[in-house]
Amino acid sequence: MQAYIIRRLLILIPTLLFASLIVFSVVRMIPGDVIDLMMSQNDIAADKKSREQLQAALGLDQPMLVQYLRWIGGIALQGDFGRSLWQNTPVTEQLAQRLPVTFELGLFALTIALLVAIPIGVYSAIRQDTAGDYVTRSISLLMLAVPSFWLGTMVMVFPSIWWGWSPQVKFVPFGEDPAQSLVQMAVPAVILGFALSAVTMRMTRTMMLEVLRQDYIRTAWAKGLDEKLVVLRHALRNALIPVVTLVGLQVPILIGGTVIMEQIFVIPGMGLLLLDAVSQRDYPIVTGVFMVVGLAVMLINLLVDLSYGVLDPKVRYR
């Protein structure tokens, strides 16, 4: 198990290197140049710096390869993601500030998604083809069909028109006041969580139906167990194995979702940082965010793989 984890972590290195190449080059392909943007800003233009001076100051006059090697070398050797082209602050500092916020929102949303999806999926399976099953399945289809950016916007707009209520805009970090922090994230987390729960719920239902047909479930009934024990002890664990895979695959979707929610609900997380940086062509920030997100997705995939060992005794890590 330990050897397996170490091996998996070592594999991350070439994967991340490859990802860094793609990220670095794609970001520079965004049309529009950061220098043009800066030149159009009055205060910089007033400084009377020429394009060349500006480029040299930001290190953008170097050949691409040199720029890349400097950047990746900084990350690999010093954990330094460079400096923001606009604010001249270290990117690492920005990431350290924003990452916990996005992590909180993502984890909150995922928790809601699972708390909604698994019980309802199980219920829907054991009451297959009843009214309850149809209702929950229809709702899940609805959640799947409604885009979360639309729902988020509606939640921002309509309550404020009808009742003068709108979600709080002033941001409270988790470390400052955990309760208040969760309250302010509740609306976006619920919207995201429900959107994610739809697929998980349907998967849980399908797998439960499959497992409930198995011989060992009949054995469990033949032992005299009641429905609760048959479902929770004998069926659910076996049904969850593929559901865990699905949840792992949903993580990138979840991260994409947090970007949108952060924008709508003005939550200063990685998503908001990324959007601002992209519109300003602040390359070091964009690449920094991508690298962190990429690493997070890879680590979560590793966690998902490890969780199989907990759920399925046939899985052994060597």
Partner 1 sequence: MAEPLLSVRGLSTSFRGEGGVVRAVDDVSFDVAAGETVAIVGESGSGKSVTALSVLRLIPEPPGRIEAKAVRFAGRDLGALDASGIQALRGNDIAMIFQEPMSSLNPALTVGMQVAEPLNRHRGMPWPEALAEATALLRKVQIADPDRRLASYPHQFSGGMRQRVMIAMALACRPKLIIADEPTTALDVTVQAQILELLKTLTRESGTALILITHDLGVVARYADRVCVMYAGRLVETGPARTIYETPRHPYTVGLMASIPRLDEEIGRRLVPIEGQPPDLSALPPGCAFRPRCPRAVARCERERPALEPIGPDHHKACWNDVRG
Tokens for 216? 């060992």
Tell the smallest beta-carbon distance from residue 230 to partner 1 (Å): 10
Q: How far apart are CA 308 and CA 315, in angstroms?
A: 7
The label of the residue with tokens 């200063």 reads 268
How many residues bind partner 1 (CB under 8 A)? The answer is 21
Judged by CB, which is closer to partner 1: 203, or 300? 203
Judged by CB, which is closer to partner 1: 230, or 255? 230
Judged by CB, which is closer to partner 1: 157, or 232? 232
Tell the smallest beta-carbon distance from residue 206 to partner 1 (Å): 18
* Residue 313 binds partner 1 (CB under 8 A): yes
CB 101 within 8 Å of CB 270: yes
Could you tell me the CA-to-CA distances from 169 to 54, 272, 315 in Å, in that order?
Answer: 36, 14, 47
Judged by CB, which is closer to partner 1: 181, or 238? 238
The label of the residue with tokens 């922090």 reads 181
DSSP string, 31-78: SS-HHHHHHHSHHHHHTT--HHHHHHHHTTTS-HHHHHHHHHHHHHHH
Q: Which residues contact 268 (CB under 8 A, 6 or more apart)?
A: 97, 98, 101, 171, 262
Site for partner 1 in 216-275 (CB under 8 A): 216, 218-226, 229, 233-234, 237-238
Tell me the sheet residues that pair with 90: 83
* Residue 311 binds partner 1 (CB under 8 A): yes
Tell the smallest beta-carbon distance from residue 93 to partner 1 (Å): 46
Q: How far apart are CA 155 and CA 159, in angstroms?
A: 6
* Residue 306 binds partner 1 (CB under 8 A): no
Judged by CB, which is closer to partner 1: 127, or 218? 218
The mark string for 186-215 relative to partner 1 (x by CB under 8 A, - otherwise) is ----------------------------xx
Judged by CB, which is closer to partner 1: 101, or 212? 212
The piece of 107-115, 136-144, 273-281, 308-316 that touches partner 1 (CB under 8 A) is 308-316
Could you tell me the CA-to-CA distances from 241 to 149, 304, 305, 308, 315 in Å, in that order?
Answer: 31, 10, 10, 7, 11
Residues that bind partner 1 (CB under 8 A): 214-216, 218-226, 229, 233-234, 237-238, 311-314
